[in-house]
Amino acid sequence: MKVACLQLAPEVGQVQQNIQRAEAILSNTRIPADLDWLVLPELAFSGYNFHSLEEIRPFLEPTTAGISTQWATQVAQHYNCHVTIGYPEITTPAINPSDTQTHYNSTVTVSPQGVILHNYRKSFLYYTDETWASEGPASNSHNLSNASSPDPPFFAGELGTLGKVTLGICMDINPYKFTSPWSNYEFASLAQFSQSPLICISMAWLCHLTPTELIQDPGQPDIATVAYWVERFQPLVEAKEEKPVYVVLANRCGMEKGVCYAGSSTVIKIEKGIVSLYETAGKNEEKCLVVDLAERPKFQVRSGR
Ligand code: GLN
């Protein structure tokens, strides 16, 4: 299986420019004819750092029917691969227009034929999301017992020919609201319980580097961030399963209103308790990272513990 992460630096509210950026990156990349999955970041075309509902309102897209979904459909058919992209969702009232509309931080996944397979709504919101988005529908079942509840807060299920997949968006891999115990590992626990061989996270993950630090060695990953992501999958490492689990982490890069994003999109393999890393994008480079999961990963990650 071949997967790709399109790491780009969208600017808040510049939808057309952001689309052009994504297309320029794709046209500079040799996309294999047998690519299975192209993954874009969280809120890839709207940008991420909105401070209120009023500010994001002009960019909200109707459920699986806005510009991001249209783009994903065309690109999926063009490259004959699945496409997952993050977008700011507004629901369309089912019965009459006075029904309340809800807003979600979502991803849509489209099949190579351009069929919409799944709309996933972020469950664990980051502070920025809380200003405009609602939690994904099942986020009230976020404690450890969720793994066996019929209605888990994250998506784990069949996704077209990709097979069984667990999907999340950025903060979903953190402890709920940063207040639940670190060791609950809500997201990794569901992934483990559902036995998905493939896990995919769309992200707009921030970093603690200063703008000056971020622009130095842009092609180098932010190791501290990658190490943190790996740590959040510890239950899968400790399970020491024979069958490998692949984790695709598709982050954005760049800056918005002084906020720096960590880039460093990466694809990881967890097998028999060993974590290895195929490839990592730089912390501040726009790039489409293509990884063949059948190849040997380049690096082995050792735990410092
Ligand atoms: N904890 C994440 C961060 O610090 C969450 C960001 C997000 O959900 N976009 O970047």
Q: What is the mean pLDDT of the chain?
A: 93
Its pTM stands at 0.94
- Summarize the confidence of residues 137-156 as an average pLDDT: 63
Q: What is the pLDDT of residue 144?
A: 41
CB-ligand 1 contact for 207 (6 Å cutoff): no
29: nearest Cα among 281, 298, 283, 223: 281
Q: List pLDDT tens digits, range 61-99.
A: 999 999 999 999 999 999 999 999 999 999 987 766 667
62: nearest Cα among 99, 86, 88: 88
Contacts of 146 (CB under 8 A, 6+ apart): 138, 152, 153, 186, 189, 190
The sign of the torsion formed by the CA atoms of 206, 23, 90, 11 equals positive
Q: How far is the CA of 174 from the centre of ligand 1 (A)?
A: 8
> What's the structural domain count of the chain?
1
Ligand 1 atom 8 nearest Cα: 171
Q: How far is the CA of 59 from the centre of ligand 1 (A)?
A: 20
Q: What is the pLDDT of residue 101?
A: 86
37: nearest Cα among 155, 228, 167: 167
Atom number, ligand 1, closest to the C-alpha of residue 170: 8
Q: What is the pLDDT of residue 44?
A: 98
112: nearest Cα among 78, 81, 74, 73: 81
Percent of the chain with pLDDT over 90: 89
* Whether pLDDT at 240 is above 50: yes
Percent of the chain with pLDDT over 70: 92
Q: List pLDDT tens digits, range 256-268.
A: 999 999 999 999 9
The band of 100, judged by pLDDT with boundaries at 50, 70 and 90, is confident
Q: Looking at the annotation, which residues are catalytic?
A: 42, 122, 170
Report whether 171 contacts 122 (CB < 8 A).
yes
Strand partners, 270: 245, 275
* Whether pLDDT at 274 is above 60: yes
Atom number, ligand 1, closest to the C-alpha of residue 178: 1
Q: List pLDDT tens digits, range 159-186.
A: 999 999 999 999 999 999 999 999 999 9
* Whether pLDDT at 58 is above 90: yes
CATH assignment of the domain containing 273: 3.60.110.10
Q: What is the pLDDT of residue 156?
A: 94
- Domain residues for the domain of 253 are 2-303
As a whole number of angstroms, the distance between CA 10 and CA 176 comes to 26
Q: What is the pLDDT of residue 129?
A: 98
Among 136-140, 150-154, 245-249, the range scoring the smallest mean pLDDT is 136-140
Among 1-15, 98-112, 188-202, 282-296, the range scoring the smallest mean pLDDT is 98-112
- Summarize the confidence of residues 221-231 as an average pLDDT: 97
- Summarize the confidence of residues 236-260 as an average pLDDT: 96
Higher pLDDT, 143 or 3: 3
Question: CB 146: neighbour CB atoms within 10 A?
Answer: 23
Q: How far is the CA of 92 from the centre of ligand 1 (A)?
A: 27
Q: What is the pLDDT of residue 300?
A: 86
